[in-house]
Structure 1
Amino acid sequence: MRRYLPSLSALHAFEAAARFMNFTKAADDLGLTQSGISRQIRNLEEFLGVTLFHRSGPRLVLTEVGATYYRDLALALDKLQEISIDAVRGRSVDSSLMIGTHHTLASRWLPARLGSFIAGHPEIPIEVSPALPTTDFDTTRFDITILRGAGTWLHTRSIELFAEKLAVVASPGLIAAGERLDPLDFAKFPMLQNASRPSLWLHWLRVAGLSYNGRIQGNRFAHNDMLINAAVHGIGIAVIPICYIERELASGELHMPFGEAVRSGDSYYAVYPERKSHQPSVILFRDWLIRQTRKYERIATADE
Structure 2
Amino acid sequence: MRRYLPSLSALHAFEAAARFMNFTKAAEDLGLTQSGISRQIHNLEKFLGVPLFHRSGPRLVLTEVGANYYRDLALTLDKLQEITIDAVRGRSVDSSLMIGTHPTLGARWLPRRIETFIRAHAEIPIEVTLAPADLDFETTRLDIAILRGVGTWLNARSVELFAEEIAIVASPKLVELGTKLENEDFAKFPMLQNASRPSMWLHWLRLSGLNYQGRIQGTRFAHTEMLINAAVQGIGIAIVPVCYIEAELARNELHMPFGPPILSGDSYYAVYPERKAQLPSVVAFRGWVTRETRTYRKLKTQ
Same fold (TM over 0.5): yes
CA contact (8 A) 1:133 1:149 kept: no
Partner in structure 2 of residue 53 of structure 1: none
Please tell me whether residue 210 in structure 1 is matched to residue 210 in structure 2.
yes
| 2:100 equivalent to 1:89 | no
In structure 2, do the counterparts of structure 1 residues 132 and 89 end up closer, same or farther at CA, with 3 Å as the change threshold? same
Structure 2 Cα separation of the partners of residues 184 and 40 of structure 1: 65
- Answer yes or no: is 1:135 the counterpart of 2:135: yes
Please name the residue that 1:162 is paired with.
162
Show the counterpart of 1:290.
Answer: 290
* Cross-structure match for 2:278: 278
**Partners in 2 of 1:300 and 1:122 — Cα distance?**
29
Q: What is the rounded CA distance, in whole Å, between the counterparts of 1:244 and 1:140 in structure 2?
A: 26
Find the aligned partners of 2:65 and 2:274 in 1 and give their Cα distance. 34
- Partner deviation per Cα, 1:62-93 (whole Å, 9 max, x = no partner): xxxxxxxxxxxx9x999877545423432122
Change over 3 Å in CA distance of 1:94–1:190 after alignment to 2: same
Distance 2:147 2:267 in 1: 8
- Aligned to 1:191, the other structure's residue is in SS state coil
Residue 32 of structure 2: aligned partner: none
SS of the equivalent of 1:129 reads: strand
Relative to structure 1, is the Cα distance of residues 255 and 79 closer, same or farther in structure 2, using a 3 angstrom cutoff? same
Q: Which amino acid aligns with 1:236?
A: G
Distance 1:103 1:38, change over 3 A: farther
The residue number in structure 1 matching 2:257 is 257
Q: Distance in 2 between matches of 1:94 and 1:146?
A: 19
Alignment correspondent of 2:192: 192
TM-score by length of 2: 0.74
Structure of greater Rg: 2
| CA distance 1:36–1:121, shift in 2 (3 Å) | farther
1:264 counterpart SS class: strand
Deviation for aligned residue 1:159: 0.8
Structure 2 partner of 1:48: none
Shift, 1:136, TM fit: 1.2
Match runs of 1:91-240 below 5 Å: 91-240=91-240
Q: Relative to 1, partners in 2 of residues 1:144 and 1:209: Cα closer, same or farther, differing over 3 Å?
A: same
Partner Cα separation in structure 2 for residue 98 and residue 295 of structure 1 = 24
Distance, in Å, in 1 between the alignment partners of 2:276 and 2:144 is 8
Q: CA deviation at 1:173?
A: 1.3
User: Gapped runs of 5+ residues in structure 1?
Assistant: 1-28, 45-73
For 1:41 and 1:155, the matched residues in 2 are separated by 38
What letter is aligned with 1:221? F
Q: Secondary structure at the match of 1:161?
A: strand
Distance 1:79 1:207, change over 3 A: farther
Cα deviation, residue 133, structure 1:
4.2
* Structure 1 letter corresponding to 2:141: R
Counterpart of 2:158, as a letter, is S
Query: What whole-Å deviation, never above 9, does each CA across 1:163-218 have from its counterpart, x for those lacking one?
Result: 11110000011111111100110000111111111111111111222221111000
CA distance in 2, matches of 1:181, 1:43: 63
Query: Which amino acid is 1:162 matched to?
Result: F
User: Where in structure 2 are there 5+ consecutive unaligned residues?
Assistant: 1-17, 23-59, 70-74
Distance 2:130 2:174 in 1: 32
8 Å contact kept, 1:175–1:257: yes
What is the DSSP-based 3-state SS (H/G/I as helix, E as strand, rest coil) of the residue aligned with 1:160? strand
Moved runs in structure 1, 4+ residues, more than 6 A? 35-38, 76-81
Q: What's the secondary structure of 1:226's corresponding residue?
A: helix
C-alpha contact 1:133 1:148 (8 A) present in aligned 2: no
Q: Closer, same or farther in 2 for the Cα pair 1:301/1:132, shift >3 Å? A: farther
Q: What is the SS of the residue equivalent to 2:239?
A: strand
Residue type of the alignment partner of 1:107 = A
Residue number in structure 1 paired with 2:267: 267
